Amino acid sequence: MNRKYDFDQIIDRKNTHSVKFDSLQDVFGKENILPMWVADMDFLSPPEITEALKQRVEHGIFGYVVPDEEYYNSIINWLRKRHNWTIEKQAISFVPGVVKGYAFAIDEFTDVNDRIIIQPPVYPPFKSITKGLDRVVVNNPLILENGQYRMDFDNLRELAKTGCKMLILCNPHNPAGRVWSKEELHELAEICFDNDILVISDEIHSDLALPGYKHTPFATVSDKAAKNNITLMAPSKTFNIAGIVSSFAVVENREIRKRYFHYLNARQLGEGTIFGYLASQYAYSQGEEWLNQAIEYIQKNIDFVDKYLQKNIPQIKVVMPEASFLIWLDCRELNLTQKELENLFIHKAKLGLNSGKIFGKEGEGFMRLNVGCPRSTIEKALDNLKKAVTL
């Protein structure tokens, strides 16, 4: 009989070094707000992981470590079962974070002032890391059409002719929540391969495809995709273990792999930690039932938000996510400036959400809501928002 997990339980996360809860004053200028921003969940991580870590802690010695076959096999088996992607052990390397992973790729495969394509509105580090490494950000904005986003391939084809060296893909997309189709990914792969543009695919939300949708790893859509790609993944978002460094890269092209893994190994960046290896192994080998139940709960949270807004605050619309526990809220019908919108959420509704502007100018008029939390938290947040809007 399957274990039943409790996602309604309220866990006090204050004073636990939590960015989400303990950085409110620094980020929002006040502490007495409900934090629904940083992309981790307020659910207990799978007890199968916790129990494995407890057992290891009780051993009492935490010396230098090496990943074993069970670690690699857990990743290989998970990708085969969950995503129909067959890879070999040699294609995998630990990386100390997905964001760091594409920073390393930018460092190794491009030069200062090289042009790198991103698709805003998109996860802020895509832009900040690129600019921070003195590369040129080239925007290929997504198009919002009939309540959902799509890629602008006509614009991408034109940009591809301007000497761009790399494209950073968000697959599934954050904050839009799109699960890109095989056809979309195939077209992107064709354009990038034919124009010698290396694709770095951030697939950290890949395991969180919602019911009715299936994630497609970019590298699986064609030979051109597999030959021209570095994929970055992690169990961190999936199993709520972001504080345990557990990311990894998958590189199928041997020449790209040789360069990228050499970059990592020469700087000793490809070595993980004892808890990172162990948490990953148990997440992928024993966490599937927890994940299935978590996704079901998250979908119900999303549906609750959508119905509540339609009934009570119709000026705010949900861009329905196809993956993840993040909801992109279209607030443009409130007719507020971004500063006024932030003031509404923070000071009137006492809610801490991500402002759309951090995802690019295309995000103005939007806010990002994290619903990876008990439903009672969402009910309280929406009631606060309703009162703030109607004041």
- The domain of 181 spans 61-286
**Residue 385 domain-assigned (yes or no):** yes
Beta strands in the chain (DSSP E): 34-35, 92-94, 115-118, 136-139, 143-145, 148-150, 164-170, 198-202, 229-233, 248-250, 317-319, 326-330, 351-352, 354-355, 366-370
Question: What is the layout of strands, in order, in the sheet containing 366-370?
Answer: 317-319, 326-330, 366-370, 354-355
Q: How many residues does the chain have?
A: 391
> Is 304 found in the same domain as 264?
no
Lowest-pLDDT range, 1-15, 94-108, 319-333, 336-350? Answer: 1-15
What digits encode the pLDDT tens for the residues 162-189?
999 999 999 999 999 999 999 999 999 9
**Residue 11 domain-assigned (yes or no):** no
> Is 205 found in the same domain as 247?
yes
Domain boundary among 267, 286, 305: 286
Task: Decide if pLDDT at 277 tops 60.
Answer: yes
> Is 368 found in the same domain as 320?
yes
> Is 88 found in the same domain as 206?
yes
What digits encode the pLDDT tens for the residues 124-169?
999 999 999 999 999 999 999 999 999 999 999 999 999 999 999 9
Q: What is the CA radius of gyration of the chain?
A: 21
pLDDT band at 1 (very low <50, low <70, confident <90, very high): low
- Alpha-carbon distance of 23 to 7, in angstroms, equals 24
> Is 267 found in the same domain as 126?
yes
**Residue 9 domain-assigned (yes or no):** no
What total of structural domains would you count in the chain? 2
Q: Are 151 and 184 in contact, with CB atoms under 8 Å apart?
A: yes
pTM: 0.97
Mean pLDDT of 193-219: 98
Backbone φ, ψ for residue 67 (5° rounding) = -70, 140
Domain boundary among 286, 315, 349: 286
CATH for 195? 3.40.640.10
Assign residue 230 a region: left if phi > 0, alpha if psi is -120 to 50, beta otherwise?
beta
**Residue 8 domain-assigned (yes or no):** no
H or E element in which residue 286 lies: helix 274-286
> Is 136 found in the same domain as 90?
yes
The reported pLDDT for the residue numbered 2 is 77
Backbone φ, ψ for residue 346 (5° rounding) = -75, -50
> Is 168 found in the same domain as 93?
yes
- Percentage of the chain beyond pLDDT 70 is 100
> Is 279 found in the same domain as 302?
no
Instruction: For residue 277, give the nearest of 92, 38, 17, 20 by alpha carbon.
Output: 92
> Is 175 found in the same domain as 132?
yes
Chain CA centroid to CA 252, Å: 22
CA distances from 199 to 188, 264, 271, 275, 330 (A): 9, 18, 24, 30, 29
**Residue 198 domain-assigned (yes or no):** yes
Instruction: For residue 290, give the nearest of 51, 40, 3, 1 by alpha carbon.
Output: 3
pLDDT band at 391 (very low <50, low <70, confident <90, very high): confident
CATH for 315? 3.90.1150.10
pLDDT band at 105 (very low <50, low <70, confident <90, very high): very high
**Residue 53 domain-assigned (yes or no):** no
> Is 41 found in the same domain as 68?
no
> Is 103 found in the same domain as 175?
yes
Residue 112: burial class (beta carbons within 10 Å; 0-12, 13-18, 19+): exposed
What average pLDDT is seen over the chain? 97
> Is 342 found in the same domain as 270?
no
**Residue 12 domain-assigned (yes or no):** no
**Residue 52 domain-assigned (yes or no):** no
Instruction: For residue 373, give the nearest of 325, 330, 328 by alpha carbon.
Output: 325
- For residue 301, what are its two tokens? 């949270």
Domain boundary among 239, 265, 286: 286
pLDDT band at 348 (very low <50, low <70, confident <90, very high): very high
